[in-house]
Amino acid sequence: MNFVFKFLIVVLLLQKVYQQTNQILLGNMSSTATFLKTLSSRRTVYSLKPALPAGVTINNIQEVVETVVKQTPTAFNSQPNRAIILTGETHKKVWDAVVKNTPAGDAQKRPASERDTAYGTIIFFSDESITKKLQSDFAFYHDIFPVWAAEASGAAQISTWTALETLGLGANLQHYNAAIEAVLPEKIPKNWKIHSQLCFGSVDQAPAEKTFVENKVEIFN
Amino acid sequence: MNFVFKFLIVVLLLQKVYQQTNQILLGNMSSTATFLKTLSSRRTVYSLKPALPAGVTINNIQEVVETVVKQTPTAFNSQPNRAIILTGETHKKVWDAVVKNTPAGDAQKRPASERDTAYGTIIFFSDESITKKLQSDFAFYHDIFPVWAAEASGAAQISTWTALETLGLGANLQHYNAAIEAVLPEKIPKNWKIHSQLCFGSVDQAPAEKTFVENKVEIFN
């Protein structure tokens, strides 16, 4: 019996040594692999249920969006990204207005489905007063500042979408910009330019396989 | 002695049960926390050494860029993102040309430092023939397609930059678009529109603390 215990302990210790060596050798590679796997798991999910997964609250989502908006790099650290979260009655009211603003027929199906099956919507904006100030301060870059604001918004959008995936949520990205802008809550500043709407909820049905183009990244030495 | 072994085994088993319970309870939250921590660790690093960290190869970087470009979502799944990696003589030659294209004095310092201290450059493009095809096929969205291409490029840029951080690399994002475009390798198609240059290398000195604006994400119920 004593021998069995000693043997077990040696096995457990060797296992620990193996794990720690692995950690040292593969440390970087393994966090890169995890990050790329997380990115690759993010998908466009249209088949949603208007609920949050067990253990996830709207405040978890708020924390995700605030962290992403805060940490996303921007031109001259100007930080133009802004975001709000709609849920409950406000979410329903806004998407219902989009439905009514859309020609009757098939075109109404998507906004109606966001209204009825998504739990909430994250809306991404850029504060245009910041972009205009940069344009006036640095005339040389006048035409490129709005492009940089769009790229910084795209960065915040993908990081938020990927973070929602890690929370077990499904999401899809919409661009009903004009229709949504017309019915936003009163207190949203008029100088916030709308980029997109990330509609989220629990996953009802997983999406089908995605197709990719051949896209080699060449190295020039 | 027998008692000590039995006690040790009970301790090790309890530890295992605790770890597994934690994994189940905190599964989602913990991968979200890891993802947000990774995002927050990505910084603009100007103080670089022209080397790769131990165990990292240029092919690891190539795999990162290919995975990110592949997995970044795009309007109508049109996949306009393109990228190349410059290193060695090509990296030096391109940045040297930027230095010579820049007025003498302080303005030359940044491109000279990229030439001398970065190990390589990832250049991000959009294939404009794809954007133009979308504009002609879907006239209703004509003006927004270039904005969506910029947002999709921003998404690929931030995910690449964050993945390089997980590999232990430092990086900074530059926009010497016109000067770089003039001296790109011959085989780059003329319809690839350049967005930015992510210069990378080993971290020499970590950057100073970053400052943030107050940026609350409000929930509307």
For B87-95, what is the mean pLDDT?
Answer: 98
Domains belonging to chain B, first-starting first, are 48-203 (3.40.109.10)
For A42-144, where are the alpha helices, taking DSSP H only?
58-71, 88-100, 109-117, 128-137
Do the chains contact at A154 and B153, CB–CB below 8 Å?
A: yes
| B65 → chain A, closest CA residue | A217
Do the chains contact at A83 and B220, CB–CB below 8 Å?
A: no
CB B87 within 8 A of CB A221: yes
- Does the CB of B81 have a partner CB in chain A at under 8 Å? yes
Confidence of residue B29 (pLDDT cuts 50, 70, 90): low
Q: Of the candidates B32, B85, B173, which has its C-beta nearest A167's C-beta?
A: B32
The Cα-based distances of B100 to A34, A84, B71 in angstroms read 41, 46, 37
Q: How far apart are the first and last CA of chain B?
A: 63
- Does the CB of B12 have a partner CB in chain A at under 8 Å? yes
Whole-angstrom Cα distance, residue A219 to residue A204? 42
- Does the CB of A73 have a partner CB in chain B at under 8 Å? yes
Whole-angstrom Cα distance, residue A178 to residue B200? 39
- What is the Cα Rg of chain B in Å? 23
Provide the pLDDT for residue B26: 52
Burial A202-220 (b: 16+ CB within 10 A, else e): bbeeeeeeeeeeeeebebb
DSSP code at position A52:
P
A21 pLDDT above the threshold of 60: no
Reported as a single tens digit per residue, the pLDDT across A154-163 is 999 999 999 9
Which of A5-14, A164-173, B41-50, B88-97 has the lowest average pLDDT?
Answer: A5-14
Write out residues 127-146 of A within 8 Å (CB-CB) of B: 144
| A44 → chain B, closest CA residue | B73
Provide the pLDDT for residue B30: 86
A22 pLDDT above the threshold of 90: no
Whole-angstrom Cα distance, residue A51 to residue A196? 21
Which one of B4, B15, B124, B217 makes the best mutation probe of the A interface by having the most chain A beta carbons within 10 Å?
Answer: B217
Reported as a single tens digit per residue, the pLDDT across A55-70 is 999 999 999 999 999 9
Reported as a single tens digit per residue, the pLDDT across B148-204 is 999 999 999 999 999 999 999 999 999 999 999 999 999 999 999 999 999 999 999
- Does the CB of B73 have a partner CB in chain A at under 8 Å? yes
